[in-house]
Chain A
Amino acid sequence: MFLNSGNTVLIVFMAVFVAPLIGGLLMGIDRILSARLQGRIGPPILQPFYDMMKLMSKKPISGTKIQIICVFVYLVSMILSLVLLMTGQDLLVMVLVLAMGSIFFILGGFSVKSPYSNIGAQREILQVLAYEPLIIFYVVAIYLKTGSFMTFKVFELKDPLLYSMPLFVVALIIIMVIKLRKSPFDLSTSHHAHQELVKGITTELSGRHLAVIELVHMYEMALLMVLAMLLFATNLWIGLALGLFCLFATIVIDNITARLTWSDMLRFAWKIGVPITALNLAVIYYFSIIKK
């Protein structure tokens, strides 16, 4: 069903235009939820869009040309990876393109001789280092179940992946916390009113260049949702519920924890995240060998 060309156009359209809307709404929900958890009322649900529109209208005075180029590449590769994911392309390619975006974002941060943006960039590398193995293990686990790296094969499975990869829900939450830069791992830059080293890697961006980053966050949110939905591809509504559950967990964690150091993050991701996924992977390996 995914290779039908009319369908593909529709999906690409969804990925490029509808996904950021959904992502933005989720970000709005995130802000309201966070506010409620703190006993506040919180902003309107459309707040992320207001923020973005406002940033668009401002006159940027930011950074260097290289950073601006990098920010655009960041946006494009984020969209590209979402398109790759939603059109059922190779998952590993999707992960690589995603990583490319992050690398450009980091390079943008480095390209300005600014202390905050520089430290933010250094830490962003560590964030990538922390979640990258988890995402790849997730992809490998899917491969072991479907026998292919192509995403659309997931939809041909009879049983949802969740049954055989339950521990990856935990992994997804860890990925979300790190990827969305939520407490306790909001090291490189942060959401909401949190501040860490000013705004870390985005310190030198302003106006529409910062708006691009906000837009990327929206796509990022949508992408993580789709990734989570893969776990329950047989019924996408349950998949969506699963994704929302992960997001909810992430928000709760964000609000009940304080920021940790980057070494804590690496230790956590590699000493807890990696073993958990490895355990799940080992079980899958074991059964795929027994089957043979």
Chain B
Amino acid sequence: MKSGILGLLIVMPFIIGILCFFLRNDLVRRFLVIGNALALIGASIALAMSGNGSFTPPHEGINWGQLIAIGDFFLLAVFIYLGIVRKSPLIIGLAALQTAGLIWLEFFAGIHGETSPALYGDYLSTIMVLIISIVGSITTLYALPYMQEHEHHIHIPVSKQPRFFMYLTLFLGAMNGLVLSNNMMWMYFFWEVTTLCCVMLIRHNGDEEAVNNSYRALWMNLIGGVAIMGGLVLLHIQHRPMAFQELIAGGRYEGFLLLPIALLCIGGFTKAAQMPFQGWLLGAMVAPTPVSALLHSSTMVKAGVYLILRLAPAFENTFVTKMVGIIGAFTFVAAAMLAINQSNAKKVLAYSTISNLGLIVSCAGINTPLAISAAILLIIFHAISKAMLFMAVGVVEHNIESRDIERMEGLLSVMPFTVFIMVIGILSMILPPFGAVISKWVSLEATAKMPVEMFLLVMGSAFTVLFWTKWIGRLLETTPGKPTPKMEKLPFFYVLSFVFLAVTVLVLSVMAGPLAGKVVAPAVMQYYPAAGIGQAQMNLINDAGSFPVLSIFTVILLAVIIPVLYLRMKECPGSSVYMCGENIASSTGTAFRTLKDSSSEMQLSGYYFDHFFSENRHIPWMNPVAVILIIVLIGGLCF
């Protein structure tokens, strides 16, 4: 039973991916992807039902350890090859370093013969598997019509979809493998597979920018790979178990013994695009939208925060925890600040992802049960909202041929459904009683005793509200007196994924109490004495406060529904806006009389605060600060 589920979750995507590559028929691929999605969703739910426990794959003729090792070498060879093609000594060097470490581990250190189970599914892993399999699968479904339109838009002669869907499904399998691994060598293998998939997907369009950005993603992630390899080698040198459960159970560590854990965390930072490694995720937006939706929501970056969360119990109350908390909080503020100045929708989303991941990392660093609960809640809600937002931006991009927020002005009257989804997505990031804000509330209450983190978090939250609100403001802009817009027609899979995600985020937000009590609390209790969070009927409570989710939800719902009904009954008489009486009757409704009695169109645009928040002004100090923080993290352990 268990092996079947795990096989479906990890191995099947690999097989289907390869099938997608070789069976080049559109219809077949469609069936494969849909089948894959259904199977993954089913298997992940089955896994959640079956409870947690360890699992070692049966040997039956296959030596899994060796297979993984061969896979590792293959991946590193691919990276070195890519480095040679690019003539980049940096990439070659980083890959070679890992190869050296791997050779030492495999052939000289003799890591085989370990008895710990290779796979272990606890609550945290199960939550991650659910997110990956459900949100990720929905993304692959969304990709079906999207890639068709995309290839139509960029006019390429031979369809590259087989390759695309291969990496997409591979990605899901690798992520599932990553979060279920207990053996760190396995984790390392899946880690590198996600790096490879990510790089290949970023360069999918094949233009110069895409290729450049993919190489940037490669070397940044290879730094993470080196850090992890370093951590593994050190663990082995220190004669400590190279398996998560045993490592965490091994008790508190101090000083030099923490170094491998810190290195693993740095690996997590690179994947989670924490400052100063944010560059690759920003560059990743050149890829087709499903890739961004996948990278930002359920996979890749979540691998980074997962790793840190997984290790959190091992560095509780140490120097590492303090530094991780500060690095995360710093990223949270810095990225939110930079997002304010951006008018590129995908870049805003990317910065917001970085910022949210910073918050999650920071929660992992604060490392109290309450903070860990906040982190898990954030992972869940961020995945759903962000997937929704990216998908909506993708659809908009195909329609208006732009991802500029300024070009989205008044989009509500053009694409009401997509904009509705987008607004729900954004509101679910910033408004109570949506889940993301409930999680932020939990995290704020968790940080209240840590002055530095609390300060940064408060500032970051204020910035977050600023850039999101600005964005929705652009979307909603309508001219009074215009007729109610008609719904646009969208392909079935778009509507399916939109509706599914919107409903999920709503339901989960309403159910935040039970979600916290029944899902998150047990996950935290596995490694901490208490959960710090729980449910009181439908409300979410913690040691210091309570969030009356249901009552707030009802009241707000009524507040929206009553005026909607009222307006339906009573058409509000539209008229022109105030323009000092100089309005001219025109088709747009926003013309006014200007010089020489000529008519002119009123134009509006958002504030971007170039003097305050521009990248040029802040990146030059942010990156060094982030590097220094990481050096302090390592240095503080060595000396």
> Which residues of A come within 8 Å of B, CB atoms?
60-66, 68-69, 72-73, 75-77, 80, 84, 89-93, 96-97, 99-100, 103, 106-107, 109-118, 121-122, 125-126, 128-129, 132-133, 136-137, 140, 143-144, 147-150, 198, 203-204, 263, 266, 278, 281-282, 285
Contact = CB atoms under 8 A, between A and B. Distances in A.
Contacts of B479: 113
Given A99-B465, A110-B473, A285-B451, A147 B606 contact: no
A61 B575 contact: yes
B444 A103 contact: no
B552 A97 contact: yes
Interface of B: 410, 412, 430-432, 437, 441, 444-445, 448-449, 451, 454-455, 458-459, 461-463, 465-466, 469-470, 472-474, 476-480, 544-548, 552, 555-556, 558-560, 562-564, 567, 572-575, 577-579, 590, 602, 604, 606-607, 611-612
Q: Is the interface of B mostly helix, strand, loop or mixed?
A: helix
A149 B544 contact: yes
A198 B443 CA distance: 41
Contact of B478 (A62, A64, A72, A96): A64
A140 B454 contact: yes
A280 B586 CA distance: 57
Contacts of A60: 572
Nearest to A128: B465
Given A125-B465, A263-B612, 5 more contacts: A72-B559, A72-B563, A103-B465, A125-B470, A140-B448
A116 B572 contact: no
B301 to A, nearest CB: 26
23 contacts: A68-B567, A69-B560, A69-B563, A77-B559, A80-B556, A89-B546, A90-B545, A92-B444, A93-B548, A97-B432, A100-B431, A100-B432, A103-B469, A111-B473, A125-B469, A125-B470, A132-B462, A133-B459, A137-B458, A143-B448, A148-B545, A149-B545, A281-B451
Contacts of A282: 451
A125 B474 contact: no
B555 A76 contact: yes
A76 B559 contact: yes
Nearest to A87: B548
B556 A77 contact: yes
B348 to A, nearest CB: 15
B545 A115 contact: no
A106 B468 CA distance: 12
A69 B448 contact: no
Given A64-B478, A103-B430, A203-B578, A132 B465 contact: yes
A113 B445 contact: no
B590 A204 contact: no
Contacts of A64: 478, 480, 572, 574
A63 B572 CA distance: 8
A178 B415 CA distance: 36
B473 A63 contact: no
Contacts of B444: 92, 136
Nearest to A71: B563
Given A64-B480, A77-B559, A96 B441 contact: yes
Contacts of A103: 430-431, 465, 469
Contact of A69 (B567, B574, B611): B567
Nearest to A93: B547
A174 to B, nearest CB: 15
Nearest to A132: B462
Nearest to A63: B480
B477 A122 contact: no
A110 B472 contact: yes
A110 B474 contact: yes
B473 A133 contact: no
Given A136-B458, A204-B480, A61 B567 contact: no
A65 B16 CA distance: 49
Nearest to B442: A92
A60 B571 CA distance: 11
Contacts of B555: 76, 80
Contact of A133 (B449, B462, B546, B572): B462
Contacts of B431: 100, 103
B469 A115 contact: no
A147 B348 CA distance: 37
A263 B610 CA distance: 12
Contacts of B607: 122
B451 to A, nearest CB: 6
A51 B448 CA distance: 43
Contacts of A76: 555-556, 558-559
A250 B21 CA distance: 69
Nearest to B455: A278
Contacts of A90: 545-548
Contacts of A89: 546, 548
A112 B480 contact: yes
A281 B452 CA distance: 11
A80 B552 contact: yes
Given A110-B476, A111-B477, A112-B478, A144 B465 contact: no
A129 B612 CA distance: 14
B432 A110 contact: no
Contacts of A111: 473, 476-478
* Central interface residue in B465, B563, B572, B602, by most chain A CB within 10 Å: B563
A41 B160 CA distance: 79
A65 B560 contact: no
A55 to B, nearest CB: 16
B474 A96 contact: no
B224 to A, nearest CB: 33
Contacts of A93: 432, 441, 545-548, 552
A153 to B, nearest CB: 9
Given A90-B546, A93-B441, A122-B607, A198 B466 contact: no
